[in-house]
Amino acid sequence: MRMRGRDVLVEALVHAFLGAEWTHDALRAAAADSLGARRRWLGPLVTRVLVAFPHPPVDAPRELGRCIAALLPDRAQPVVAHLVPVAASAATSSSPVPRIDGVADLAALLGLSIDALDGLADARSWNRRAPEGRLQHYDHVWRERPGRVARLLEVPRGRLRAVQRTVLDEIVGLAPVHPAAHGFVPGRSAITGAAEHVGSAVVVTLDLQRFFAQVTAPRVFGLLRREGLPEAVAYTLTGLCTHAVPVAVLRRLPEGGSPEERAGLRRALTLPHLPQGAPTSPALANLALRRLDARLTGYAEAAGARYTRYADDLAFSGDERFARRAEAFARGVQRVVEDAGYAVNPRKTRIRRAAVRQSVTGVVVNVRPNVRRADVDRLHAILHNCAVHGPAGQNRAGVGDFRAHLLGRIAWVAAVNPGRGASLRAVFDRIEWGAGGAVR
């Protein structure tokens, strides 16, 4: 059966090329067999394809197809004799991410049928257009911030969340991150990142704007491809791990922030992006920022400075010589970030000399890693009031599990300053919690 159409011709050439030995003569012969004739334009086409792809792109048939479509001469006769079946395959890769040859293998790894996987991946963005209800994959919660634009939590529902957790544990969590990244990395923390800047003449901190929302679906697809995953697998994983916020949710954006900030947030959330609230988002954000981390590390080293990143917090520090040009350096960092396609929040850039309190991710770093005295005093006052008056009236922020919340804050202090943490824990132990312990 002979088939016509330019798209059919491209598909036939992709199948023919990927099913043949990757040499000029073999590719030309396979294409001629598929087309039912040896066309004059095949030789030059094969030559240019081999220049674009020195090795067979077995894991990238779509990319090969786009290349062929761009190279096809207008006179190419769109008639195809037959299609050569070709099995999908992952390219050889040194990445620790496991080899997954196709969508069927991915579905098996995740314990899903292919139909269920397709539904959760939502490649057609059906969820963005569907009315809110039980068929939605995400819950959306706006968190207001006084004087600032609100933050949106995009929390995946049960089944999708479980699948994303498997994706994190079995796939994306295995890929290496840059040494400068300290957030969401086993063995690293805000404290290890801050410790890199102790005793510096100057500390420069900047904040990435709309951290998760700036990591769009094309960025996620690209980083998964760089880990050696085939196009179809990377495409499906991108769908599983990104989300476009429904219009109805964007209409509920609370007041706060400038008109420009609000418009920018709406634009970012409209496109498929890493959702803040998905278990895969922190790891994927770290992978997406590997190249930026490498560039900022090199930029800092050239200036005699150190660089670390904890999520969206960028920190640099150095000696007196670096301190003298810290302002110009900060402007340079902003240019590097913008060149990579991200944005810095200019209102959060700080340059702190040794004469003032220097802090990185909430940790004071002037002499040694420490907690701000005001924060410790505030927590001590809450604990004291709980011990004297009972905890029921002290949960003014309405935290879900007040007891666990206080223990978490004490643990943070203890991790930075064990002595102060022990003192706070002694006050906590005097609190009478009553039955259940969780005060709401």
3-state percent helix, strand, coil for the chain, nearest multiple of 5: 50, 10, 40
Identify the pLDDT of residue 2.
Answer: 47
The pTM assigned to this predicted structure is: 0.78
Identify the pLDDT of residue 77.
Answer: 57
CA–CA dist 187, 328 (Å, integer): 33
| Average of per-residue pLDDT values in the chain | 89
Identify the pLDDT of residue 3.
Answer: 47
CA–CA dist 300, 326 (Å, integer): 11
Tokens describing residue 267: 């634009």
Highest CATH level, class, for 189-210+291-370: alpha beta
pLDDT grade for 435, boundaries at 50, 70 and 90: low
Residue 146 has pLDDT above 90, yes or no: no
Q: How distant, in Å, are the alpha carbons of 71, 197, 302, 306, 358 from that of 299?
A: 39, 16, 5, 9, 22
pLDDT grade for 16, boundaries at 50, 70 and 90: confident
pLDDT grade for 83, boundaries at 50, 70 and 90: very low
Residue 405 has pLDDT above 90, yes or no: yes
Residue 320 has pLDDT above 70, yes or no: yes
Q: What is the pLDDT of residues 276-305, one digit of tens each?
A: 999 999 999 999 999 999 999 999 999 999
pLDDT grade for 69, boundaries at 50, 70 and 90: confident
The domain locations on the chain are: 3-80, 103-178+216-286, 189-210+291-370, 372-428
Residue 326 has pLDDT above 70, yes or no: yes
Percent of the chain with pLDDT over 70: 92
Residue 204 sits at the vertex; the CA angle it makes with 369 and 357, to the nearest 5 degrees, is: 45
Residue 231 has pLDDT above 90, yes or no: no
3-class DSSP state of 315: strand
